[in-house]
Amino acid sequence: MISGCGTQPDVKSPEEIAAQEEAERARVEAEKRIKAEEENRRKKAEIQRQKRIQEQREEQERVESARRAEERQKQEDIEARNRFEETDIYFDYNESTLRWDSQEELKIKAEWMRTHPGKNIIIEGHCDERGSAAYNIALGERRAETAKNFIVDLGVEAERIETVSFGEERPIDPSSSEEAWSKNRRAHFSIK
C-alpha cells in the first residue's frame, strides 16, 4: 500500500492560540489607545483653535471699542470747539460787567481752555449802534477785557487770550430795535 504524505491541517496548540488571541487583543487595545490619543489631540487642537478665535474676536472688539471711543471723543471735541466759538456772551446796555448767564458760559469756556492747553483764543468785543464809534470801540474793548479777566481768574494763562474790539462795526443783527441791539452787545470767541 502506498501511503502518501498528506498535508495535515495546521493545528495550533492551545498556548499558540492563547498567544495569538492575546496579540490580537493587544493590537486592538493599541489601536483604541492610538485613536483615543488622536481624538484627545484633535479635541485639544479644536479647543486651542476656538480659544484663538475667541481671543481674536475679543481683540477685534477691543480695537473696535477703542475706535468708537476715539471717534466719540473726536466728535465731542468738535462739538465742544463749535460750541466754544458759536456761543457768545451778552451784556446789558452801556455795560461791560458780566451778567450771571455770561459768567456761567465763561466757566464752560475756561474749562475747555484748561483741557486744551495748546489752544489760544481771541475775544472780540461788540456793541450795538447807539453811541459814537469811538465810545463803542472803547466799550467793546472793556467787554472783551472783562471776559478775559474772568477766564484768567479761573486759571487760564493770560498770554493765551487776545482781545480786540469791533465796536458797532460787525453787528449780528443790523436792525435798529431793542431785540437787535441786545444781540449785538456781546463778546464773541474764536480759537486761533
pLDDT at 7: 56
- Quick one: 89-191 is in which CATH superfamily? OmpA-like domain (3.30.1330.60)
pLDDT at 5: 53
pLDDT at 65: 92
pLDDT at 54: 92
How long a stretch of residues is the chain? 192
Q: Residue 120 is placed in which grid cell?
A: 489760544
Rounded Cα distance, 104 and 90, in Å:
12
pLDDT at 22: 87
Low-confidence ranges of the chain (pLDDT < 70): 1-9
pLDDT (tens digit per residue) in 61-106: 999 999 999 999 899 888 988 989 999 999 999 999 999 999 999 9
Rounded Cα distance, 110 and 45, in Å:
58
pLDDT at 11: 82
Rounded Cα distance, 104 and 191, in Å:
19
Enumerate the domain spans of the chain. Answer: 16-86, 89-191
